[in-house]
Structure 1
């Protein structure tokens, strides 16, 4: 079974692809730089990427909460059905109405589907747009200090690979979180302990965040979308735990403290 991994060079996708390759599962990377290439903004690239594929891991870029995502997922799902794909695994967002709309599209497709619905990634602090903030020692975001059940991307990848390669996961919606709720102040404290230096969390306005992010090279349209996502999702709606990792894998989810200790080198200034 050839598996297409969309977003195969991203945080979750590259981990999914590596795990599939280790299991000797034929993998096709879905990215603009792959051959054949795949580009969410160019639907002409979709059919060649899906040709001969049995299963697809769907990680939408930049996020299912962004405008146009639902229409793209609807078009991709219909094409997957026509192309003979048998199994879809969707990376979804917890507490995002547009993401849930995308989930319903796949659930109605007639294919074997699995939804992997996740909270905010721990790896945003070590591999994503918050890395520079941690290196600078100040995490400044336009959100109240609400609790969030941050989830480890390695847990997400393990669940996705199980759904792509094993029986018993079709028709399941796994809601993945870490094992405890943390505010951003709590996160800063965990990162301080792991790195041995002081890291603080500072709430800012959306305008202040945009100014700082653009100064660090984040594209203006992405900053605007992130501000909208912060306002929509980081309002306390996700301040509860789920046991999706335990359900899917039979083991507990990874704790943020373990993640922070394991990634301490990422926050060491050269």
Structure 2
């Protein structure tokens, strides 16, 4: 097997991919991309190659990608600048003659400009379009929402308030555990037959916020209910509570997408890649809210 490069290793997903990959291949076959020497320090004991570079600096990426057979490309988290960054990554991979790019995208149903999360989706769709037009071998991993975002959407004080307050109606989400998504990524990086394919990676079951409220109730022993206000009431209440506007819009966008069924689809792609059913949201909720 040729050398594999992982980006985003200081984040939860990239870090999980790195750890799982090192359980399957020698450290000598792994290179990681980090922003600077300070961030590199923690990874030196692992024995992996360390390349310095950023998505903003295409020349640094070309140098980092030289000799790479497979690249695990974690989407950037700087939404405002992510478009040009993604262009840099694809162009650098092309110039460096990377053998295969595995890109972490997102689950969706509506790709139009009117979709509730169009402001986030545009740069994912751009990366996919660029990869498909580049001539590079690619695999696109359309990740479901992480189960790990449930506490954020449910609210930090949900056990005190007893209410999940989101304008998502009866919409459902097929949450997947981040560790399972990382395992699927490693399966693609170390396996065969994934060339020029897209996988929709979801959990085994779609759940509504009412379902989540019931799970938190069962885990915590407290009565949690779900209230779905109008978007206007939702924004007004969060504004009154002092939540920054950027987060209010983000929550409203995700709830709108959930209400529209953007994340409701359930597939067996994840199960096929990791060789088992994905972990359950029930178990995750119990681990977070259990008595």
1:241 counterpart = 2:266: yes
TM-score normalised according to structure 2 size: 0.75
1:207 counterpart = 2:226: no
1:34 counterpart = 2:39: yes
Q: Output one character per residue of 1:185-220: Cα deviation in whole Å (capped at 9) or x when no partner.
A: 1012112223333333333435246537854xxx65
1:166 counterpart = 2:191: yes
* Partner residue, 2:91: 78
Change (3 A) 1:222 1:234: same
Change (3 A) 1:144 1:81: same
Alpha carbons 2:184, 2:270 under 8 Å: kept: yes
Distance, in Å, in 2 between the alignment partners of 1:46 and 1:27 is 12
- The CA RMSD over aligned residues, in Å, is 3.1
* Partner residue, 1:111: 136
Distance, in Å, in 1 between the alignment partners of 2:155 and 2:14 is 19
1:4-43 to 2 correspondences below 5 Å = 4-23=5-24, 24-25=26-27, 26-31=30-35, 34-35=39-40, 36-40=51-55
Q: Which moved more, 1:165-174 or 1:39-48?
A: 39-48
Aligned length: 260
Distance, in Å, in 1 between the alignment partners of 2:154 and 2:77 is 16
Distance, in Å, in 1 between the alignment partners of 2:241 and 2:69 is 40
1:229-268 to 2 correspondences below 5 Å = 229-232=254-257, 234-261=259-286, 263-264=287-288, 267=289
Gaps in structure 2 of 5+ consecutive residues: 41-50, 112-121
Alpha carbons 1:174, 1:247 under 8 Å: kept: no
* Partner residue, 1:132: 156
Alpha carbons 1:17, 1:29 under 8 Å: kept: no
Alpha carbons 2:180, 2:274 under 8 Å: kept: no
* Partner residue, 1:150: 175
Offset at residue 37 of structure 1 (A): 4.5
Change (3 A) 1:199 1:34: same
Q: Output one character per residue of 1:161-202: Cα deviation in whole Å (capped at 9) or x when no partner.
A: 011112122222111111112101101211222333333333
Change (3 A) 1:82 1:259: same
Q: Which moved more, 1:115-124 or 1:44-53?
A: 44-53
Bigger Rg over Cα: 2
Q: Output one character per residue of 1:70-92: Cα deviation in whole Å (capped at 9) or x when no partner.
A: 44323311111112321211111
Change (3 A) 1:120 1:87: same
Alpha carbons 1:12, 1:154 under 8 Å: kept: yes
TM-score normalised according to structure 1 size: 0.80
Alpha carbons 1:8, 1:30 under 8 Å: kept: yes
Distance, in Å, in 1 between the alignment partners of 2:245 and 2:58 is 24
Offset at residue 15 of structure 1 (A): 0.9
Alpha carbons 1:7, 1:31 under 8 Å: kept: no
